[in-house]
Amino acid sequence: MTDPGFGHDPWWVVIIKVLLVFVVCVVLTLFNIWWERRVVARMQHRIGPNMHGPFGLLQSLADGVKLALKEDLTPTNADRVVFVTAPVLATVPAFVTFSVIPFGPVVRIPWTHTYTHLQLTDLPAGVLFIMAVASMGIYGIVLGGWASGSTYSLLGALRSSAQMISYEVSMGLALVAVFLYAGSLSTSAIVDAQSSWWFGALLLPSFVIYCISMVGETNRAPFDLPEAEGELVGGFHTEYSSLKFALFFLAEYINMAVVSALATTLFLGGWRAPFWIDHAWAGANTGYWPLIWFFGKVLFLVWIFIWLRGALPRMRYDQFMALGWKRLLPLSLVWIMIVAVIKAAALDGGWNPHWWMFGLGVVSTLVTLWFFLRKPEAAALEATPTGGFPTPDLPVGGPVRGAAAPLAFPAYTYAELVPHEGTTTEEAS
């Protein structure tokens, strides 16, 4: 098999790849919406969508048609040009980022003698390209909230921009360790560097930090503060309807797939077979079989998104920002220094750093989780009087823990509750 390289595909192959990337993004969105509703329904002992199509699979398509047929409203105070442009700015970058994601190795196109990569293109700085293009989606959210002419939309847009910028910093720093270890910023080269060890095992702290950051970056629960219904109605897209709202909805679910695909590429071996299947089956990483491994890993990470939404309550905004700036950022910097030192020592000494990185990563992750999840001391739970209106005093002894006390109602007889004949209500009371 001859490797055709990148940039040498015939024009008709490029067009087919572009169309396939578009179709994959749209189909993943439709499937993920259906899957989220089914999984959350299962967690809440409900049925979920099951009427339209087999297993309800056409429910997402029906929702899309419903949105398209809704009345398209534009607020009177809106900046019409920006109001219409913002959803497009949020959606287009989500599609573009998939252009450098490798779905598989070199394959032969059926019914032809043409070989090509299962990847639209590759760049020497492919990961930086993804980060740069994904950050453009922030403009769509901010401009959409500003152009709506609504205070709630503007506050949601400001929250979203602050949140996405904060967690992009932690996400970018989590990827620095991958660049140091792989020696490249190319997505295909990083996948090739994981032929023996996945970076999710060697660089476990980076993987954990990236997973937390990708949930904050995509504004998903429990970090969905830009659209906190109890505070901001619907957030930055409160004033949007019909297809413009559908574009924001589409962008959110495509971004879920993008960050999951990037995590698969950088930490989970990309399209390579999991669980050492390739050791027992030599053809596991050849042909079109790697598509199964790639999308299996992506859908597993999307399931993590769904599970978090159904299991965890929304965080408070100050706690959420403190997690990004005071926890994830310092941890990322410390871990980058550790990786750089070990990698440099291994290159100078000519020894293999894999087991060292694996052991240090596991120990660092366990120590960090213990530090964050340990119970506060009893002295910290003692209530401090707050001093009155409008915030009441905290309960004596700290927050109430455990099950709530059972409610006790006074017992009444039937004669006490029902007035006798010939008596008025006042006499009975």
Around Cβ 425, how many Cβ atoms within 10 Å? 7
The pLDDT value recorded for residue 77 is 86
Among 3-12, 41-50, 227-236, 322-331, where is mean pLDDT lowest? 227-236
The mean-pLDDT minimum among 164-168, 179-183, 297-301, 377-381 falls in 377-381
Give dist(CA 237, CA 224) in Å, integer: 13
Give the residue with greater pLDDT, 265 vs 355: 265
Note the pLDDT tens digit of each residue in 56-77.
889 999 988 998 899 888 888 8
Residue 406 preceded by cis peptide, ω within 30: no
Residue 36 · residue 30 · CB < 8 Å? no
Nearest residue to 384 via CA among 398, 367, 365: 398
For 11, list phi and psi in degrees, rounded to 5. -60, -35
Residue 379: predicted pLDDT: 45
Can you spell out the DSSP letters for 298-363?
A: HHHHHHHHHHHHHH-PPPPHHHHHHIIIIIIHHHHHHHHHHHHHHHHHHHHHT---HHHHHHHHHH
Rounded-to-integer distance, Cα 346 and Cα 52, Å: 58
Q: Is 222 in contact with 307 (CB distance < 8 Å)?
A: no
Give exposure, 125-156, as e/b (b: 16+ Cβ within 10 Å).
ebbebbbebbeebbebbbbbbbbbbbebbbbb
H or E segment to which residue 4 belongs: none
Helix (H) / strand (E) containing 158: helix 151-182
- The yes-or-no verdict on residue 422 having pLDDT over 80 is no
- CA-nearest of 55, 63, 40 to 302 is 40
Q: Which of 169, 173, 191 is nearest to 182 (CA)?
A: 191
The answer to whether 324 and 54 have CB atoms below 8 angstroms apart is no
The per-residue pLDDT of the chain, averaged, comes to 85
Please determine, for residue 396, whether its predicted confidence score (pLDDT) is greater than 70. Answer: no
CA distances 276 to 272, 293, 329, Å, are 9, 12, 34
Kindly report the pTM of this predicted structure: 0.83
Taking the C-alpha atoms of residue 292 and residue 277, their distance in angstroms, rounded to an integer, is 13
Average pLDDT of span 14-43: 92
Which of 185, 194, 215, 213 lies closest to 270 in space, CA to CA?
194
pLDDT of residue 156: 82
Count of Cβ atoms closer than 10 Å to residue 230 Cβ? 6
pLDDT above 80: residue 16: yes
For the stretch 353-377, pLDDT in tens is 888 888 988 988 888 888 777 665 5
Question: For residue 14, how far is the Cα from the chain centroid?
Answer: 29
**Residue 391 banded pLDDT, cuts 50, 70, 90:** low
Between CA 380 and CA 376 the distance in angstroms is 6
* pLDDT recorded at residue 402: 62
Tokens standing for residue 158 = 């400001």
How far apart (Å, rounded) are the C-alpha atoms in residues 209 and 334? 12
DSSP bridge pairs for 106: 117
Residue in the block written with tokens 């609504």: 150
Sequence spans of domains, the chain? 11-371
Using the predicted structure, report yes or no on whether residue 132 has a pLDDT greater than 70: yes
- According to the model, what pLDDT value does residue 426 have? 52
HSE, CB side, 13 Å, CA atoms: give it for residue 275.
Answer: 4
The per-residue pLDDT for 91 is 92
